[in-house]
Amino acid sequence: METIMVKLPEMEEVNFSFEPQYEEIPIRGNYMATGIEQLDREAEAAVLRELENGNIYAWFCAAVTAEWRGIKETTYLGGCSYHDEKDFKRDHYDSMKDEAYKDLIATIKSLAK
């Protein structure tokens, strides 16, 4: 059996990408839960209008992928609702990059065994 040595990439050597994906979780009953039905319905209706107007960021599943030398790992966060990509990235992008990077390193280690 041959042993292969692999230098694990630093985070700066990894390519990251972000993709807003269609969210399968329904907006109704999942966007807000204040206990005040009218308030919840109005907020849900506003999100639905944003979606109908083409704003994918109104209700989406976030996918962040870490890629290094053809090896990829993706982490997902569903039930996201933001004004735009910038708003989402300010809140969650860095932590999702960290998670995807850790998964990538684990995959590389498992492939090197």
Question: Which of left, alpha, beta for 70 (phi over 0: left; psi -120 to 50: alpha)?
Answer: left
pLDDT digits (tens, 9 = 90+) for 8-54: 999 999 999 999 999 999 999 899 888 899 999 999 999 999 999 99
Q: What does pTM read for this prediction?
A: 0.89
- The position carrying tokens 């995807």 is 100
pLDDT digits (tens, 9 = 90+) for 60-71: 999 999 999 999
Q: What is the DSSP letter of 25?
A: S
DSSP for 27-94, written as a single string: STTTS---S-HHHHHHHHHHHHHHHHTT-GGGSEEEEEEEEETTEEEEEEEEEE--SSHHHHIIIIIH
Asked whether residue 113 carries a pLDDT value surpassing 90, the answer given is no
Question: Do 64 and 104 touch, CB atoms closer than 8 A?
Answer: no
| Domain parsing of the chain, residue ranges | 13-112
User: What strands, in cross-sheet order, belong to the sheet with 60-68?
Assistant: 15-22, 60-68, 71-80
